[in-house]
Amino acid sequence: MTTLTLNNGVEIPQIGFGTAAIGEWQQDDSFVTDTILKAMAVGYRHFDTASVYGNERALGRAILQSGIPRQELFVVSKVWDTEQGPKTTEAFERSLERLQLDYLDLYLVHWPVPAYTRETWEAMESLHDARKIRALGLSNFRKSDIEQIATFARIKPTYNQLELHPYLVQQEMVDYCQFHKIAVSCWSPLGSGSWSGVETKDKPIVDPVIVALADKYDVSAGQIILKWDVQQGRIVIPKSEKLEHITANFSLWDFELSDEEIQSINALNRDHRFGADPDTAHESNKNVAVPD
């Protein structure tokens, strides 16, 4: 399993397992736990959840049932918009309790809420000081949001999770993060899941350029896209519920894309978001509740 080293020396597996909307949005039952256990059996050790996903308990149960030593796992969760500011520490403790863990490997601010960022980040720094979090990071943060943190942070962000796929390459944002030694992670790396309502015909996995490369290397379209990310030093957290896809997404080492092929995928960029835009997401996020 390939790992990357974050700017604070913590190692993170480059391929993680996304858990948003396994089954349905905020589903938390044995199906979710069993899906995560499948991923663990395949070899995944990095698991990405969030309080708003409503499935931290399912991940916690999978960790217990797997018997995998805690130190071999890399567990990520996030603080939601409605939990930021003065509620951050309490929100973190609730996540930890639901997961039945003593610490998290990485804790993220799920979306930028600039009015709360300082208070949120300073609460996270205190949790890091108390050794309850090994690394602090961001999700969906823009350049301006990272510049804001730079004005007061004692502890530098290690990571920024972005919507990133061949139709939304975000090259300027990626370059900015990499220049500042902030690891880039890709959510919806294959162009959004079934929960999004986006039709398959509109996703990059059926783009002729991707399909031709998949045919050339005798792999899936998803594997081509994930390899495109991994070869450029990014972290990926694909989600799937089918064992064949869970396995394929983790099996990226038998082929290598050329520089020209990577550029041909970069050229598919349309600046097209399937998910929310950080410029406007907070207004709707305020109305989304974190389940107990």
Following DSSP, what letter does each residue of the chain receive, concatenated? --EEE-TTS-EEESB-EE-TTSSSTT--SHHHHHHHHHHHHHT--EEE--GGGT-HHHHHHHHHHH---GGG-EEEEEE-GGG-GGGHHHHHHHHHHHHT-S-BSEEEESS--HHHHHHHHHHHHHHHHTTSBS-EEEES--HHHHHHHHTT-SS---EEEEE-BTTB--HHHHHHHHHTTPEEEEESTTS--GGG---GGGSGGG-HHHHHHHHHHTS-HHHHHHHHHHHTT-EE----SSHHHHHHHH---S----HHHHHHHHTT-----SS--TTTHHHHHTTPPPP-
For residue range 23-58, list pLDDT tens digits in order.
999 999 999 999 999 999 999 999 999 999 999 999
pTM of this prediction?
A: 0.95
For residue range 66-118, list pLDDT tens digits in order.
999 999 999 999 999 999 999 999 999 999 999 999 999 999 999 999 999 99
CA angle 106/181/12 to nearest 5° reads 35
User: Percent of the chain, pLDDT > 90?
Assistant: 94
Which residue ranges are tagged as binding site for substrate?
110
Which residue ranges are tagged as binding site?
110
Give yes or no for a contact between 59 and 78, defined as CB atoms under 8 angstroms apart: no
Question: According to the CATH classification, is domain 3-285 in 3.90.550.10?
Answer: no
Say what the pLDDT of residue 195 is. Answer: 52
Question: Does 8 score more than 70 pLDDT?
Answer: yes
Catalytic residue positions?
Answer: 53
For residue range 131-178, list pLDDT tens digits in order.
999 999 999 999 999 999 999 999 999 999 999 999 999 999 999 999
